[in-house]
């Protein structure tokens, strides 16, 4: 696979590259991002390689991320129309204003105008709700988003970091009302974060949402920088976000990543990204890069083809503990079609089934 092997996003006709360039690191306001010049070079390299999907948010580097994209791509029609620009609303950038953030009509309409101004474009390709707003009825949010689509200011809609039940409620409401549907779901997903497989992933697949994982390398934990051998000796770039998860589970996964990377003659990061990109329901994985070297290394993951044995080896130490009823449902086929295989799902004989017809009341 290559970066220009485009895929449609969810149940839509929007063509996107299999990797999406995350722009959270564009700008140095938070002390760990890329300069304007480096950000521009990263965008250029990504587009030269065939990438056309860039993801940002109104809150990234206090809005500077959007401004960098706007200055480099948005104000030049020939560049802007060739890329799919995704951004998010929700975060409040106006301290003291209760309507400065969230998913209410007043807030999201204003946030859209602010993003359009910074991006220097008259439309947003994909507009995400960054997280669930517990204070706003979902019908208000979905109707306001539909108004933005009808006004031509937004092309497609998606939700990020929202419970499965709320996403499902929004999608079904949109269907009943004839409003613009959601086409994508952005969630954290990696070998270190697989609990999304309990509810969010099957929900997305059922409702036609293309999954775009964020933090597929778990903030760099799975980048190859950290190993069991150098534990405690390498300073974490993101502090407690990394140090807090560098425990036995992480090292057990990294051990297997190193083994598979050696077998594939590639890097740990590429193996971790290849695993995520090939998970059921995943459309385009969001990759971040602060340097061209990091970008090139990550893009090489598209050339990695893991064997079924290697996937199984990675699945084992990363196996998530799922909540109810997801964990219960894993055993349900035993009672539904015990001793048979349906749609590729095999189940052992059920202990509750009669041994013969004469044993059944």
Give per-residue pLDDT as tens, 123-142: 999 999 999 999 999 999 99
325 vs 60: CA distance, rounded Å: 36
For residue 252, the number of C-alpha atoms closer than 13 Å in the C-beta half-sphere is 11
Q: Please answer whether residues 34 and 26 qualify as being in contact, where contact means their C-beta atoms are separated by less than 8 angstroms.
A: yes
Q: Please answer whether residues 30 and 238 qualify as being in contact, where contact means their C-beta atoms are separated by less than 8 angstroms.
A: no
Q: Does position 58 have pLDDT exceeding 70, yes or no?
A: yes
347 vs 334: CA distance, rounded Å: 5
Model pLDDT for residues 75-102, shown as the tens digit of each residue:
999 999 999 999 999 999 999 999 999 9
Which two tokens mark 102? Answer: 């969230």
Per-residue pLDDT band at 199 (split at 50, 70, 90): very high
Neighbours of 237 (CB within 10 A): 13
**Mean pLDDT computed over 269-279:** 98
Neighbours of 37 (CB within 10 A): 9
Model pLDDT for residues 207-245, shown as the tens digit of each residue:
999 999 999 999 999 999 988 888 676 666 655 667 678
Model pLDDT, residue 297: 94
Q: Please answer whether residues 58 and 111 qualify as being in contact, where contact means their C-beta atoms are separated by less than 8 angstroms.
A: yes
347 vs 112: CA distance, rounded Å: 50
Burial 152-174 (b: 16+ CB within 10 A, else e): ebbbbbbbbbbebeebbebbebb
Q: Please answer whether residues 301 and 260 qualify as being in contact, where contact means their C-beta atoms are separated by less than 8 angstroms.
A: no
**Mean pLDDT computed over 304-310:** 98
Residues involved in catalysis: 60
- Distance of CA 104 to CAs 56, 90, 91, 181, 293, Å? 20, 9, 12, 18, 41
Q: Is 233 exposed, middle or buried (0-12, 13-18, 19+ CB in 10 A)?
A: exposed
Residues contacting 93, CB < 8 A, separation 6+: 58, 59, 62, 63, 100, 101, 114
Model pLDDT, residue 27: 96
Averaged pLDDT of the chain: 95
211 vs 279: CA distance, rounded Å: 10
Which segments of the chain are extended strands (E)?
7-8, 15-16, 19-22, 53-55, 84-89, 124-129, 154-160, 182-188, 210-214, 285-287, 341-342, 345-346
> In the block, which residue shows the tokens 């070998």?
191
Model pLDDT for residues 311-349, shown as the tens digit of each residue:
999 999 999 999 999 989 988 999 999 999 999 999 999
Q: Please answer whether residues 21 and 45 qualify as being in contact, where contact means their C-beta atoms are separated by less than 8 angstroms.
A: no
Model pLDDT, residue 246: 87
Model pLDDT, residue 292: 95
Domains located in the chain, CATH noted: 7-323 (3.20.20.100), 331-361 (no CATH)
Model pLDDT, residue 239: 58
**Of 25, 110, 100, 101, nearest to 68 (Cα)?**
25
More confident residue, 234 or 153: 153
Model pLDDT, residue 240: 62
Model pLDDT, residue 236: 63
Q: Which of 42-46, 66-70, 224-228 has the lowest mean pLDDT?
A: 224-228
Model pLDDT for residues 10-38, shown as the tens digit of each residue:
999 999 999 999 999 999 998 889 999 99
Model pLDDT, residue 98: 97
Model pLDDT, residue 32: 84
Q: Does position 354 have pLDDT exceeding 90, yes or no?
A: no
Which two tokens mark 182? Answer: 């959601």
Q: Does position 9 have pLDDT exceeding 80, yes or no?
A: yes
- Give how far the C-alpha of residue 175 lies from the chain's centroid of Cα atoms, to the nearest Å: 24
This prediction's pTM: 0.94
169 vs 173: CA distance, rounded Å: 6
């Amino acid at each position: 696979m290559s970066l220009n092997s485009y895929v449609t996003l969810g149940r839509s006709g929007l063509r996107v590259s299999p990797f999406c360039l995350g722009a959270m690191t564009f700008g140095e306001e938070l002390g760990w991002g890329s300069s304007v010049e480096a950000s521009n070079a990263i965008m250029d390299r990504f587009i030269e390689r065939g990438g056309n999907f860039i993801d940002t948010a109104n809150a990234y580097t206090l809005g500077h991320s959007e401004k960098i994209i706007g200055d480099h791509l948005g104000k030049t029609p020939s560049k802007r129309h060739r890329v799919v620009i995704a951004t998010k609303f929700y975060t409040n950038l106006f301290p003291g204003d209760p309507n400065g953030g969230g998913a209410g009509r007043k807030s999201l309409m204003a946030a859209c105008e602010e993003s359009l101004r910074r991006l220097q474009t008259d439309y947003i390709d994909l507009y995400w709700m960054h997280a669930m707003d517990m204070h706003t009825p979902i019908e208000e949010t979905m109707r306001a988003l539909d108004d933005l689509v009808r006004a031509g200011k937004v092309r497609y809609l998606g939700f990020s970091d929202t419970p499965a039940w709320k996403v499902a409620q929004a999608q079904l409401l949109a269907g009943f009302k004839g409003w613009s549907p959601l086409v994508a779901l952005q969630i954290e997903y990696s070998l270190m974060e697989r609990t999304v497989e309990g509810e969010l992933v099957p929900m997305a697949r059922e409702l036609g949402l293309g999954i775009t994982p964020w933090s597929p390398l778990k903030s760099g934990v799975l980048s190859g920088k950290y190993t069991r051998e150098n534990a405690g000796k390498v300073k974490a770039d993101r502090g407690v976000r990394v140090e807090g998860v560098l425990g036995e589970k992480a090292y057990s996964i990294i051990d297997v990543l190193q083994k598979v990377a050696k077998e594939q003659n590639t890097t740990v990061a590429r193996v971790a990204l290849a695993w995520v990109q090939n998970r059921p329901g995943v459309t385009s994985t969001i990759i971040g890069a602060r340097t061209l070297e990091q970008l090139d290394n990550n893009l090489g993951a598209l050339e990695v083809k893991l064997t079924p044995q290697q996937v199984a080896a990675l699945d084992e130490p990363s196996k998530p503990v799922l909540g109810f009823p997801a964990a219960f449902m894993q055993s349900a086929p035993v009672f539904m079609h015990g001793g048979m295989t349906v749609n590729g799902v095999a189940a052992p004989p059920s202990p509750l089934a009669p041994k013969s017809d004469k044993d059944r009341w």
